[in-house]
Structure formats: structure tokens, C-alpha cells
Amino acid sequence: MRIEERLKEIGFSLPEAAKPLAEYIPAKLVGNLVFCSGQGPVKDGKMVFIGRVGKELTMEEGYQAAQICALNCLAAIKTAIGSLDRIDEIVSLRGFVNSDLGFFRQPEVINGASDLMVKVFGEKGKHARCALGTSALPGNIPVELEMVVSIKQN
């Protein structure tokens, strides 16, 4: 439980994975890669942030939303592999920011997720990344995040 302890050390805790509301699963293991379903800033079943960044939400709130999304990605991934300690590396993050027209600072929002991954996993937390804007996300969440990780071979 090293990774979960590390999360606590830096002031976070791993949430329960959100139950999918339809015919998909939180994450899928194939070979030594885990692909997780897109995660929003949900905590205890409630949306913590709602709205577009640059309009209803500030960039700092978007950053926090991305952080929560990243925790939810880890929770989703845990459902597929049992323990986060099996993660070898964070391979990639793709973050979609629900953006007001004229808001162009999506990378700074997604830093909320990237910064956290490196705080938790160190050098192995460094990942390929895409930060994108969009005009609409499910339930009007501000950020949706995807993560791919590799697991340790043994």
C-alpha cells in the first residue's frame, strides 16, 4: 500500500471508484497496460465542480478539478489491478477542459493532474500528455481526464 500511503503523506486519499452507470467498466487491463475510463471531478458521488473554466470557474478551480479527476483515474485503475503498487509508470494523460470561448490556458488546468502524478510516482510519474479544450462535457463538468498506466512485469 505504498502508493496509497504516499497519497496520504501529501494530503490526499484514494476515493472509491465511481460505479459506471452503463455497460462499461472503470478500467481495462490489456497486456501490461491499463486504460481507464474518462473521469470527472466527482467525490462521494457528487460533482465537486460544475461549469466551464474561464466562465463559471477560475483556472485555480480547474486545476483542483483536474487533481480530483486524477485521483479518480487512480481509483478506476485500482479496480482493474487490485493495488496501485502494481503500477510501473504513468504512460499518458489526456485532459479535456470545458472551456469558455476565449479561454486558452488548458495546459495550466491539466497541470493539476500532472503535478500530482509526479508528486506520487516521482520520475516514473512523468507522462505523455494532451491538454485540450472543448465546449461540452457530461453533466457540465469542467474537466474530463483519461489515464493510461503500465504495470510491473513479474
* Residue numbers at the binding site for a copy of itself (CB under 8 A): 20-28, 30-33, 35-38, 89, 91-94, 96-97, 99-108, 111, 114-115, 117-118, 125-140, 144, 146, 148, 150
- Judge contact between 40 and 137, C-beta under 8 A: yes
Sheet strands (E) in the chain: 27-30, 33-36, 42-43, 46-47, 87-98, 128-134, 143-151
Q: In this complex, which beta carbon is closest to a copy of itself, that of residue 28 or of residue 43?
A: 28
Residue 29 CB, shortest distance to a copy of itself, in Å, is 9
Q: In this complex, which beta carbon is closest to a copy of itself, that of residue 1 or of residue 130?
A: 130
Q: In this complex, which beta carbon is closest to a copy of itself, that of residue 1 or of residue 104?
A: 104
Q: In this complex, which beta carbon is closest to a copy of itself, that of residue 15 or of residue 99?
A: 99
Which one-letter DSSP state was computed for residue 62?
H
| Residues ≥6 apart with Cβ < 8 Å to 41 | 47, 48, 49, 64, 65, 66, 68, 69, 72, 141, 142, 143
Residue 39 CB, shortest distance to a copy of itself, in Å, is 9
Q: In this complex, which beta carbon is closest to a copy of itself, that of residue 78 or of residue 127?
A: 127
Distance of CA 87 to the CA centre of its chain: 15
Residue 5 CB, shortest distance to a copy of itself, in Å, is 21
Pinpoint the alpha helices (H) of 84-123: 106-121
Residue 23 CB, shortest distance to a copy of itself, in Å, is 4
DSSP reduced 3-state for 97: strand
CA distance 95 to 147: 9
Residue 154 CB, shortest distance to a copy of itself, in Å, is 15
